[in-house]
């Protein structure tokens, strides 16, 4: 996520702070200073930092549980509204998503129990006095963790409760239908929050916008994952590929670039094997180097992602995150076609227009 600063790496996952969180922290400190002076500002900032330390632990509850099921997370980012863990995929089985979703709130409840033991306040009365200025930092932090656990269990995306709801519904309705229901509930919850925010609490309006768009994004992501999981690469790959031979010069590569509208070109050896990928920017860089008769192959990216034709499109989609194209290769290494972001987008257009459409190189079956 852009505008973020890395503060450390724990258990193989980077923890990053978004610039808006730092602005939010400064605003909290300044507001407290205006109300009650420097000591109140210090206490407010320490309290917010402590809360977000608990949020990080909450996210690592998700991350470490997900790791048990082969789901990795490269980073978690702190925002003013909480933490966002970047999971590389969602688990295949509903019960796995259920356990991953429950892990975060469970961490908050464990933290709250430990803090209440430390404070010697196990009668529960402290939970009703979170706004009381006379209670200490430990007690207030314990009550906040209970609130975070309860709030996150609201059955609406993007809260953990929405994922719990989706996992439960998926067992009977299937993942895509369950996601749509949970997303619709999340958007209805966002409207309710926004309405309440009109009565004097603008922060609720900000949260409502986030919840609404996050729920919509979750529904869209689920649709893409489901659609691409049902389609084989061989049925939708681009086969009319414009390639560049390994021995081509920079001048020849420029001629090919100008003759087509392509943005990337596979570089092939004499037997048709894929050895690299040249982007439009790579060719421009080669031109800038000055010698039009020089070989263009050294400017190609050698580590191009590849996939077999019988794999499903979602496998290619994971590799397209950091690559302009994925090469589809035969067992002997020959290039059969390419999968690009444009080809994936075209599959999504067809699926959106006709969800039951079956892709087949042998003829379209509708």
Which residues have a catalytic role annotated? 59
Q: Are strands 13-18 and 274-279 parallel, antiparallel or unpaired?
A: unpaired
User: Quick one: which of 182, 161, 34 has its CA closest to 105?
Assistant: 161
160 is known to lie in a ligand binding site: yes
Q: In what order do the strands lie in the sheet with 244-245?
A: 244-245, 264-268, 274-279
229 is known to lie in a ligand binding site: no
Tokens of 140: 């207030």
Tokens of 358: 């079956």
CB 15 within 8 Å of CB 58:
no
Task: Give the span between the Cα atoms of 142 and 108, in whole angstroms.
Answer: 9
**Alpha-carbon radius of gyration of the chain:** 26
CB 158 within 8 Å of CB 215:
yes
86 is known to lie in a ligand binding site: no
Give one DSSP letter per residue of 57-74, joined into a string: HHHHHHHHHHHTTT--EE
Contact partners, residue 44, CB within 8 Å, separation at least 6: 28, 29, 31, 32
Q: How many residues does the chain have?
A: 366
Q: Which residues are annotated as a binding site?
A: 58, 62, 160
Q: Which residues are annotated as a binding site for Zn(2+)?
A: 58, 62, 160
């Amino acid at each position: 996520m852009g505008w973020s600063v890395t503060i450390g790496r724990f258990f193989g996952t980077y923890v990053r702070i978004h610039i808006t969180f730092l602005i939010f922290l400064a605003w909290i400190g300044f507001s407290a200073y205006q109300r009650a002076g420097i000591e109140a500002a210090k206490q407010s900032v320490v309290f917010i930092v402590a809360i977000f330390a608990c949020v990080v632990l909450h996210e690592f509850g998700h991350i470490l549980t997900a790791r048990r099921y082969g789901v990795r997370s490269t980073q978690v980012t702190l925002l003013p509204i909480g933490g966002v863990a970047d999971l590389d995929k969602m688990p295949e089985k509903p019960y796995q998503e259920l356990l991953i979703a429950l892990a975060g709130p469970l961490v908050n409840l464990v933290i709250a129990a430990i803090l209440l033991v430390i404070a010697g306040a196990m009668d529960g009365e402290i939970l009703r006095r979170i706004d009381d200025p006379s209670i200490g930092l430990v007690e207030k932090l314990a009550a906040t963790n209970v609130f975070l656990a309860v709030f996150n269990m609201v059955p609406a995306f993007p809260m953990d409760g929405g994922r719990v709801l989706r996992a439960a519904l998926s067992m009977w309705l299937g993942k895509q239908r369950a996601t749509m229901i949970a997303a619709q509930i999340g958007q209805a919850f966002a409207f309710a929050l926004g309405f309440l925010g009109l009565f004097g609490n603008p922060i609720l309006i900000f949260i409502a916008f986030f919840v609404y768009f996050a729920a919509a994004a979750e529904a869209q992501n689920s649709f893409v994952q489901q659609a691409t999981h049902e389609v084989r690469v061989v049925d939708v790959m681009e086969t009319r590929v414009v390639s560049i031979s390994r021995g081509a010069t920079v001048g020849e590569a420029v001629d090919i670039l100008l003759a087509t509208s392509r943005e990337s070109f596979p570089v092939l050896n004499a037997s048709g094997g894929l050895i690299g990928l040249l982007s439009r920017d790579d060719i421009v860089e080669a031109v800038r180097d000055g010698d039009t008769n020089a070989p263009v192959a050294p400017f190609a990216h050698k580590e191009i992602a590849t996939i077999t034709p019988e794999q499903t499109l979602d496998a290619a989609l994971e590799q397209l995150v950091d690559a302009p194209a994925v090469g589809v290769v035969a067992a002997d290494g020959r290039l059969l076609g390419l999968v690009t972001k444009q080809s994936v987008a075209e599959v999504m257009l067809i699926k959106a227009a006709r969800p039951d459409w079956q892709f087949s190189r042998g003829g379209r079956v509708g």
